[in-house]
Amino acid sequence: MEQINFDEYIRVIIRKKPLTLGKSFGNFKVCINQVDNCIVIKQSSDEQEKTYLYNFDTIFDETCTQQQIYRNAISPLIYSLFQGISATIWAYGQSGSGKTYTLIGFDDKHENLGQIFLSAYEILGIIKSKDYFNCVQQQDFEEFVVYMSIYTLSNEIINDMLSDNHESLKIKQQTQEEYFYIESITKLKISNEQEFLDALHKGINKKNLNNKIKNQYFFVDIFLQRFDQDQKLIKSSFLRFIDFIGCQRTKRNYSSEYQREIIQVYTSLCAFNRVICQLQNLNAHIPYRDSQLTKLMKSSLGGNSRALMICNLNIQQDIDEIHSLLRSAKNVQEVKNFVWSKNYIL
């Protein structure tokens, strides 16, 4: 069976949130130059005007639809998934910038469905129609099976959103070189759209029930396994979505319990930034073990899966936070992954 190898940089796309009435701006203007894929910030202070430019692969303005993002950025990853190549997609940005809107959507109307729904529907549709983009030899005796896991990460604790059990789960690694996995996580077999919808709604409801915890990373993993006529596993890949917590800095006086939570939250975000920094500098030691988030993202940060960061930008924010967000996004797009398809020996 063919083995696919290539390397590519983590793709970063920007999605600008529509303006909210009544929210004020500071002494700055943020414009998108779609011809040069550039964000231009003009900032004035003491009668001086400074201009800052940030270039990205693709910038979507506030008029873009969920389908446009899907076709441009996610669909190519679905193609690879059927070749046995995994991918991780994460939504990054300040609180309220549209991360959940992008991944999950707004309501059940087709035009508002988020990237997770659109991806799952396409995967299930391809399997049903056996139209595997010509990247799989079409043989009737081959079978694809889809599984799904949904979990949250908060205060370095992982909770299974598809199980009624409230115990936290452990991250394990088989050998030093291997990627990390979550022990005993529920992997639900999904055969059709309704089963997918039921599972996702169950996961979202359980997450929302736990409203005491404000800062949770929300993970949805879709596994694709390919079996031969003897029911032997021959290829396996996953598509992972992560709804990040808001990456803004804290300014207000929070309760001590909330402060503790914030420190944990920033532990994972700082670990994420350290990993990006070490990878950019091509350092030998990459501190994946510093947080649960970076352990789980090991394959997508300098590893063997494809990776896409959707950076949600709300320009009605503090200008320092906008610069900080765009700088982080630029750092991420300098990281290269070494992608290969995972075959199993027959």
Ligand X SMILES: Nc1ncnc2c1ncn2[C@@H]1O[C@H](COP(=O)(O)OP(=O)(O)OP(=O)(O)O)[C@@H](O)[C@H]1O
Binding site for ligand X (CB under 6 A): 17-18, 93, 95-101, 106, 246, 312
User: Least CB distance from residue 337 to ligand X, whole Å?
Assistant: 25
- CB of 291 or CB of 314, closer to ligand X: 314
Cα–Cα distance for residue pair 340/6, rounded to 1 Å: 7
- CB of 203 or CB of 302, closer to ligand X: 203
Pair 236, 223: CB distance under 8 Å: yes
User: Least CB distance from residue 66 to ligand X, whole Å?
Assistant: 8
CB proximity list for 293: less than 8 A, separation 6 or greater: 153, 217, 268, 269, 271, 272
User: Least CB distance from residue 266 to ligand X, whole Å?
Assistant: 14
User: Least CB distance from residue 314 to ligand X, whole Å?
Assistant: 8
Cα–Cα distance for residue pair 192/284, rounded to 1 Å: 44
- CB of 84 or CB of 246, closer to ligand X: 246
Supply the DSSP symbol for 82: T
User: Least CB distance from residue 209 to ligand X, whole Å?
Assistant: 16
State the residue number with the nearest CB to ligand X: 98
Pair 261, 215: CB distance under 8 Å: yes
Cα–Cα distance for residue pair 129/120, rounded to 1 Å: 14
Q: What is the largest CA-CA distance in the chain?
A: 75
- CB of 12 or CB of 81, closer to ligand X: 12
Cα–Cα distance for residue pair 14/4, rounded to 1 Å: 29
- CB of 66 or CB of 80, closer to ligand X: 66
- CB of 97 or CB of 115, closer to ligand X: 97
CB proximity list for 345: less than 8 A, separation 6 or greater: none
User: Least CB distance from residue 292 to ligand X, whole Å?
Assistant: 18
